[in-house]
Amino acid sequence: MDYSTIETSARVREWQYLTGRDIDRLDRQRTVLMLSCSPLEVHGPHLPVVTDLHEAEGLALRAMELLCEEHPEVEFVHLPPLWVAADVLPHPGSVMFRSSTITRVLADLGRSLARQGFRHLWVASFHGGPRHFVPIEIAADRVYRRWGLGMVSAFSLLLSRLTGGGTDLAHVLGGLPGLTPEELDGDTHGGAIETSLMLHLLGRHVASGYEALPRLTVDLELERLGVRPLENRGLWQLVRGFRHKLAYFAANTYSGKPSLGDAELGRRILDVLARETATALSEVYTGRLRPEDCHSPLWKARWLFSNETLGWAFERMLRYESRVF
């Protein structure tokens, strides 16, 4: 992965290039480890499959840059990213893992780092599949309670603060120049937001022709079918939305309006999200926000999104078939 395309002035050290002696000398109390865990997943006909992972890295590095300004005493160490992820679009090119695999990999990682004395591990992501980010939360909770490492899912924390658990950012970003909330309604995957982010972060890998792609969303498809639109409140509405989104993305590879994509807009979007992330993580670092208070609104119903037998039965009931797992 080419990190050189993500510009940052942050004082970040790369774990993979340090020696064992370098790592042993790190002050455990003042060192924060940052890790991205997002999928390789299809994003429309125009974005590379590394989109979620590169966005997570861009968001993490920009947040660290802002945190360096507020906490000059902190030593940030960037771990190589993981593309172990669930809830990916079932189209060739996506790579799928079990939710239990995500939890086990991250729990093992956290345990290893805790045994080495580290106190802070923040996991970034940019993937709204609940069977992905909820298992990250489960791993973080397990590591914190068993081994005392303050492990936090930064994505879950961001969801909680910005959307109440949904993935639609229309009301958060709709006020940026060149955008309206109406244009961003339903923009959840490969649309204006992610096309703009990738034009900013990795523009040379965005395929031409995105300017001509029509606006497609889950709600527009439901309207065509005569079904009432989705709502982002209440557990039942979240389950209902999950069911309709599974069906929608089995047939489509993006939701939103990619033609609105713009590199400068992507820079502004990244900055808005990174500032919110940095504010929340600053509270975590200073102890104003405890790791057990950093969960998404789906945490209370985590069994729904982490029980693989239940998930299998749900998919069979919907006659959902994945072509990648």
**CATH number of the structural domain spanning residue 147:** 3.40.50.10310
Identify the pLDDT of residue 165: 60
The C-alpha angle 57, 59, 60, rounded to 5 degrees, equals 65
Residue 323 lies in a domain: no
Per residue in 246-276, pLDDT (tens digit) is 889 999 999 999 999 999 999 999 999 999 9
Give the bridge partners for 34, in sequence order: 78, 122
Residue 322 lies in a domain: no
Determine which of 69-83, 201-215, 281-295, 298-312 has the lowest per-residue pLDDT on average: 298-312
Residue 264 lies in domain: 3-317
The band of 195, judged by pLDDT with boundaries at 50, 70 and 90, is very high
Per residue in 165-193, pLDDT (tens digit) is 666 677 888 888 878 888 998 999 999 99
State phi, psi for 154 to the nearest 5 degrees. -65, -35
Residue 310 lies in a domain: yes
Count CB neighbours of 184 within 10 A: 24
Query: Strand (E) positions, 18-139?
Result: 31-36, 75-78, 120-124
- 288 CB burial (10 A radius; 0-12, 13-18, 19+): exposed
3 state SS of 255 = strand
Tokens 């002050």 -> residue? 27
Residue 156 lies in a domain: yes
Task: Give the residue from 159, 160, 185 showing the smallest Cα distance to 174.
Answer: 185
Can you give the C-alpha Rg of the chain in angstroms? 19
Q: At what angle do helices 130-147 and 99-115 cross, to 10 degrees?
A: 30
The average confidence (pLDDT) of the chain is 90
What's the number of domains the chain is made of? Answer: 1
The band of 294, judged by pLDDT with boundaries at 50, 70 and 90, is very high
Instruction: Please check the confidence at residue 8 and state whether its pLDDT lies above 60.
Output: no
In whole angstroms, what is the distance from residue 156 CA to residue 227 CA? Answer: 29
State phi, psi for 3 to the nearest 5 degrees. -75, -15
Identify the pLDDT of residue 232: 58
Identify the pLDDT of residue 233: 52
Determine which of 208-217, 227-236, 238-247 has the lowest per-residue pLDDT on average: 227-236
In whole angstroms, what is the distance from residue 282 CA to residue 70 CA? Answer: 8
Give the bridge partners for 120, in sequence order: 150
The band of 314, judged by pLDDT with boundaries at 50, 70 and 90, is confident
Identify the pLDDT of residue 262: 96
Residue 295 lies in a domain: yes
pTM: 0.91
